[in-house]
Chains A and B, each alone.
Chain A
Amino acid sequence: MRKSRTLNLGTGSFVLLGFAALFFLTTQTTSRGLPIFGPPVYEVIAKFDNIGDLKVGAPVSMSGVEVGRVAKIDFDSNDYKAVVLLRLNARYNKIPTDSDASIYTQGLLGGKFIGLTAGGADTYIKDKGQIDFTQSAFVLENLIGQVLANFTKSKADSLSPAPADPKATEKTK
């Protein structure tokens, strides 16, 4: 009896370990993750003209520190903009209301992420709030198109230089 008890104990712990590993593989390595283990969060939306290939789960960073993740991406058919739901860690709850959100690229071929730049207002963004100032993703094709357009234009009238006025931050809303 004693021997069969230790044997069953060994078998049981092996099977438990195996199922724990299967559970880890299905929930932690795929996008079907369970958010139950995460820290407290609050949600903020931001509307972009173009989000490029931003994906759900992409990091949201401030000064290079990850403060949250992209939770949901939707399209608003009233003002034709992409609505991005950001889930931010509740520890970072002092983000000024006039902060701006831009979409950047990690490395040359890496994925997109959202960078927040703090504004100067005294009031902070609340849960379910909105970031008003956004800058769209940098789309390589558009940039090449612009460069080509500028190039042909400056060739056409070589007297006037190419307009050096790239609008850095387009203010939405």
Chain B
Amino acid sequence: MFGELWESFTDALEGLGSVVHFLFRLVVNTPRVLLRFNLISQQIFNSGALSLIIIMLSGLFVGMVLGLQGFQLLQRFGSAESLGTAATIGLVKELGPVVTALLFAGRAGTALASELGLMRATDQLSAMEMMAVDPIQRVVVPRFLGGVIAMPLLAAIFSVIGIYGAQLVGVQIMGVDSGSFWSQMRHAVSLTDVTEGIAKSFAFGVACSLIAVYQGYYATPTAEGVGRATTSTVVTSAVVILFLDYLITAAFL
């Protein structure tokens, strides 16, 4: 009983250590991959541009819900004009980065993990090694960098669409004055709020992409193993995102 607990604890430590080691390998190989921008560009397209539809749709609806809920709540205090402020701060600092990262883990993270896992299962990675092509450089790092670059951009798009969603409900439907919606937002939202959002989305981008490529690269080379890698990508990403979110929020206070 006690021995099993100890064993699972050391297993977890070993996993953490190998993730850190893997990250180090990725970072060391990054400068060489940066010269072959075509590879990264293709991965930005795969993880970023292809996630655009789901990000934009979710952003619109999250913003509309914020507009509706925020209006109902603020109206009780007779300050429905601050709806713009409430919705923007909520979106830029929290909902934008976090929801985007969760969707990103579900849409792009799973794709990365299953792609790499299948490459592992069908011995494509070993074949590359046989041809003296480093799979880390050729396959893994471009995917990692593509995710890291795409994630902050996706979060920014999410926030902007969300603000317009809140504006759509608050101003067009509920009748908040459009001038106060924007002007109150402008003098209440500071640049640090936006910076915090960008810092969060960047950190989430690194975490999500790292987890996805790690899980895929070290997947058990069977159909079941690829499935398990995909599942644990989403689960681990979600927990790590929320944990990092707390850390970064506390750091910016």
Contacts and interface: CB of A to CB of B under 8 A. Distances in A.
Contacts of B220: none
Q: Which size class do A's interface residues fall under?
A: 35 or more
B140 interface: no
Interface in B175-209: 179-180, 183-187, 189-191, 193-194, 197-198
A55 B42 CA distance: 47
Contacts of B185: 29
Interface string A26-45: 10111111000000000000
A10 interface: yes
Interface string B140-181: 000000000110111011011001000000000000000110
B69 interface: no
A59 B185 CA distance: 13
Interface in A58-90: 58-59, 66, 69
Given A57-B187, A109-B79, A110-B79, A18 B48 contact: yes
A110 B78 contact: yes
Given A29-B189, A33-B186, A111-B81, A11 B180 contact: no
Given A57-B186, A59-B183, A25 B45 contact: no
Nearest to B149: A15
Interface centre among A18, A33, A106, A108 (most CB of B within 10 A): A18
B194 A25 contact: yes
B99 to A, nearest CB: 15
Contact of A21 (B38, B150, B159): B159
Contacts of B82: 110
A110 B45 contact: no
Interface centre among A11, A66, A69 (most CB of B within 10 A): A11
B52 interface: yes
A70 to B, nearest CB: 10
Contacts of A32: 191
Interface residues of B, number: 40
B41 A30 contact: no
Contacts of A30: 186, 189-191, 193-194
A11 B190 contact: no
Nearest to B157: A21
A90 B38 CA distance: 51
Given A18-B48, A108-B78, A4 B160 contact: no
B104 to A, nearest CB: 13
A59 B178 CA distance: 12
B79 A10 contact: no
B79 A14 contact: no
Interface string B82-112: 1000001000100000000000000000000
A92 interface: no
A17 interface: yes
27 contacts: A7-B41, A11-B41, A11-B48, A14-B44, A14-B150, A15-B44, A22-B153, A24-B160, A25-B92, A25-B160, A25-B197, A26-B191, A29-B185, A29-B186, A30-B189, A30-B190, A30-B193, A33-B186, A58-B183, A59-B180, A106-B81, A106-B180, A107-B78, A107-B80, A107-B81, A110-B79, A110-B180
Interface of B: 38, 41-42, 44-45, 48-49, 52, 77-82, 88, 92, 149-150, 152-154, 156-157, 159-160, 163, 179-180, 183-187, 189-191, 193-194, 197-198
Interface of A: 4, 7-8, 10-11, 13-15, 17-19, 21-22, 24-26, 28-33, 55-59, 66, 69, 106-111
